[in-house]
Amino acid sequence: MDDFPVSRRRRFGRILDVTTVVVLSITAVLTAWCGFEASKWGGEMSIAFSQASSARVQAAAAASEAQAARQYDLTIYTQWVLAEHSGDASLMRFIEERFSPQFTVAFDAWRKSDRDALGPAAMKEYVLPGAVEAKELSARADAKFSDALAFNQRGDNYSLMTVLFALVLFFAALSQSQKVEWRRWTFLILGLLLGIVGVAFVSTFPIKI
């Protein structure tokens, strides 16, 4: 390289300087972008975790409602069984009038089936208030929790890319401090290769605006 004319060395030096500035500028923007995306996905993760927690609480409340309704129905039905055993038809009718709506439906279906099932509570017609809601809310909580884990991973991926682009900045800056031209190109090319790898990965990541 020392045999090159001065003008040619200067031209190569300018090209190297311009290339280094371009690499530093683009990498700085990419680093900021990855930081922004990591922050956005972190926010989405927090929201999803909050929604999962809220759904869990609502599912627990609905399940408690269903359990309380079941306990009431079984208590009343126990009294009906005792009244039937004693042959007190009047008391049986009195108790039947106090069945909950959902138990009445199951009770009628149970009677029509010639009492094949173990009891009205074992019939498919017996649907407790809150039972369906509890199942749906529990499924929603599971889905939101899975979403939160996915969002967390996406944020981590972008955070990892900020580290990679920081290495690009490091090598690009290191190339500027070298006196020998081939060393400058070596560090710059190494930074460029890392930058290309980073861009390839980032291009596959989902974007959240």
Domain ranges of the chain: 6-202
Tell me the pLDDT tens digit for each residue of 186-209: 888 999 999 999 999 999 999 988
pLDDT at residue 94 tops 90: yes
Rounded average pLDDT over 133-154: 95
Furthest CA-CA distance within the chain: 120
Confidence of residue 1 (pLDDT cuts 50, 70, 90): very low
pLDDT at residue 53 tops 90: yes
Of 116, 115, 135, 147, nearest to 46 (Cα)?
147
Residue 20 CA to residue 7 CA, distance in Å, equals 20
Position 156 scores a pLDDT of: 95
CB-CB neighbours of 67 under 10 Å: 14
Residue 165 CA to residue 173 CA, distance in Å, equals 12
> What is the DSSP annotation of 58-119?
HHHHHHHHHHHHHHHHHHHHHHHHHHHHHT-HHHHHHHHTTS-HHHHHHHHHHHHTTT-SS-
Position 182 scores a pLDDT of: 80
pLDDT at residue 8 tops 50: yes
Position 14 scores a pLDDT of: 80
Position 73 scores a pLDDT of: 93
